Amino acid sequence: MTKKSEKNTLIVESMPLNKYIAQAGICSRRNAVELIKDGHVKVNGKVVKEPGFKVTSDHSVKVKNRLIQKEEPIYVLMNKPRGVVTTVADEKGRRAVVDLIKLPQKQRIYPVGRLDINTTGVLLLTNDGYFAQNLAHPSKRITKVYDVTIHKDIYPEALDQLKKGIRLEDGIAVADEVYLIPGPKKNKIRVTLHSGKNRIVRRMFEHMGLIVEKLDRVSFGGITKRGLARGESRSLTKREIERLKKVY
């Protein structure tokens, strides 16, 4: 090891106060700004109201008099099974996605956006609030790919309608790409879209009188579940994390 590299190992990374709070899992980066400006945050015993104030792991940071510590960021990819809710805890006592992931007791992660209980496939989970907030926000228009199985063969006009756009109660929903998945029946369709609206795929098909029997998200932002069985999870690779962060 050279002297130069030895020197670099002594550098302590600094970051804006609001980002530090978000990475501690307290709240999103945007909400952290509000906490700071409202005077709820202290650094080394003094109230700091500037979100961009630089802090390191050597600082003592308290939010509402609670000492916090920046967590090591965790990024997980899951192949979500059917019958599991995408919440941290469920008021009805149903099994949640976090129950399927083994982490050290003190660490907590949260789903990025939601898949409804009957939808399977790609789901990201993290303790990085800023990362989660950006990927889940509709304005980011993350590319998502779904395999849809409906209750009967689809009629050709429906495929055209999905591409032209369907007027729903909260605006027009448009599929970027739609095609039939080869097979003995004509009831399996692959749909690519950017919309982040709630239950958007199911609602698009329901609007045309078509019942979705199975819905599987095969890709999110280019990240696939290849190699993962239902219910399995793994850490995202460095390359995958960097790819997703380029979106924002």
Contact 220, 79 (CB under 8 A): no
**Choice among 38, 116, 153, 160 that is catalytic:** 116
Residue 168: count of CB within 10 angstroms of its CB: 15
* Residue 116 among the catalytic residues: yes
Which pair of tokens denotes residue 152? 């009967």
Q: What is the rounded radius of gyration, in angstroms, for the C-alpha atoms of the chain?
A: 22
Q: Give the separation between CA 187 and CA 152, rounded to whole angstroms.
A: 6
The string of DSSP letters for 58-110 reads TS-EEETTEEE-PPPP-EEEEEEPTT-BSSSS-TT---BGGGGS---TT---E
Residue 71: count of CB within 10 angstroms of its CB: 16
Tell me which residue of 28, 131, 26 sits closest to 76, measured CA to CA: 131
Tell me which residue of 189, 195, 193, 159 sits closest to 176, measured CA to CA: 193
Residues 6+ apart with CB under 8 A from 183: none
Catalytic residues: 116
